[in-house]
Amino acid sequence: MALSDMLDSIPTSGIRRLFELAGRYSDALSLGIGEPDFDTPEHIKEYAKEALDAGITHYTPNVGLPILLEAISQKLKRENGIDADPASNIMVTVGGNQAFLLAISTFLRQGDEVIIPSPHFVTHSASVQLAGGVPVEVPCYAEFGYRPRTEDLGKAITPRTRCIIINSPNNPTGSVLGKGDLEEIADLAVDHDLKVISDEVYETLIYDGLRHESIGALNGMESKTITVNSFSKAYAMTGWRLGYVVADKDTISKMAKFQMYLAACPVSFAQYAAAKAINDERSRSHIETMRSEYQRRRDYISSRLDAIDGIEVTKPSGAFYIFPEVVGKDDLEFSESLLKNKHVAVVPGSTFGKAGKGHIRCAYTLPIPALEKAMNRLEDFMRA
């Protein structure tokens, strides 16, 4: 199938439609936005200015600036327990988003299947389709904290399965996979010779003392795992468009070939600033400030939603989303009516796959006073 046919078969993101509608109301409160409401820390902006002044304004290697690759390699060892050679196992990408199509295109063949625990981030299934593959959604349930059950993943494996995509902390549910979950998924991957793409872009937003674990650090998973990460959420750098991939040498070199014809490289001075940011103490304190603020908001929004009749809450453990069930309601109609009547924007759960039906995604990327207003409006809406 040609890429143009593939594009026709992929729906436009439901999130965009909702934003367009929300734009009509001047007093709209948006719980739809999946990006930090914090600004990029000043010291990172200063590093970008320093790069501009130093003339770091040219193309970089397709895989990224060597100082950034080196900084990422050190960070992976220190924080994720992953050994990655900066010369062959890492590539910087134009946001984490770009990484999925680049990575999946290196190994997927027409008709190959990719297992995606669902509800899931929309780019995961779209990238599989664009690469000619078939996304196979495996539903996750509130009773298990929206973590995939290994037996369900196992049942979905067929002779055409090539890969499993996992995402912890998760968008849209906020679920977090523990080491035990990852070990079971790793066993499946080894037994059935599957790759695992692990989307870890929310790794710093994790609550209640939980620790982020990387599947790429587990024994036997070094060559099977493609880890995707990003500067967007951890450093409040969404508009800088910087992410990275950790993978085996062959995958990285194929991705670099693809990148040559796509973007050539991510923005040079943004890469320099990111390299400096990784090793700067001030970044660590910024990350902790954001993490503790989002935990406070998570607690607030969970308890407000929990007190509303007709809404079932599963308290998330990470990211900045909550994914309550709107019991007995159609999520598309519910979201549209909530926006029209109360000017509160949420994302219908079915945007994130079949398993999201009957749910809504609320991003708590607004300060608590605004969240309070949104919750008051939602409460009124439910009463009516």
Ligand X SMILES: Cc1ncc(COP(=O)(O)O)c(C=O)c1O
**95 lines the binding site for ligand X (CB under 6 A):** yes
What residues have CB less than 8 Å from 220, skipping those under 6 apart?
Answer: 186, 190
> How long is the chain?
384
Fill in the DSSP letter of residue 76: I
Place of tokens 């872009």: 201
Q: How far is the CB of 232 from ligand X (least distance, A)?
A: 3
**318 lines the binding site for ligand X (CB under 6 A):** no
Strand, coil or helix: 303: helix
Is the CB of residue 303 less than 8 Å from the CB of residue 338? no
**∠ CA 355-361-364 to the nearest 5 degrees?**
150
Among 238, 279, 295, 337, binds ligand X (CB under 6 A): 238
Q: How far is the CB of 204 from ligand X (least distance, A)?
A: 13
Question: Applying CB under 6 A, which part among 37-45, 90-98, 305-313, 371-379 lies near ligand X?
Answer: 90-98
Question: Applying CB under 6 A, which part among 43-51, 91-99, 133-141, 352-360 lies near ligand X?
Answer: 91-99
Nearer to ligand X by Cβ, of 62 and 171: the residue is 171
Is the CB of residue 31 less than 8 Å from the CB of residue 346? yes
Place of tokens 């999520």: 331
**227 lines the binding site for ligand X (CB under 6 A):** no
Q: How far is the CB of 53 from ligand X (least distance, A)?
A: 26
**171 lines the binding site for ligand X (CB under 6 A):** yes
Nearer to ligand X by Cβ, of 246 and 375: the residue is 246
Fill in the DSSP letter of residue 354: G
Q: In the structure encoding, which two tokens stand for residue 133, read together?
A: 């593959």
**∠ CA 367-370-376 to the nearest 5 degrees?**
135
Is the CB of residue 163 less than 8 Å from the CB of residue 115? yes
The size of the interface with ligand X (CB under 6 A), counted in residues, is 13
Nearer to ligand X by Cβ, of 221 and 274: the residue is 274
Other CB atoms within a 10 A radius of the CB of residue 214 amount to 22
Among 86, 117, 243, 348, binds ligand X (CB under 6 A): 243
Task: Convert residues 259-298 into a mask of x (bound to ligand X by CB under 6 A) and - (unbound).
Answer: ----------------------------------------
**199 lines the binding site for ligand X (CB under 6 A):** yes
Chain contacts with ligand X (rule: CB under 6 A): 34, 95-97, 121, 167, 171, 199, 201, 230, 232, 238, 243
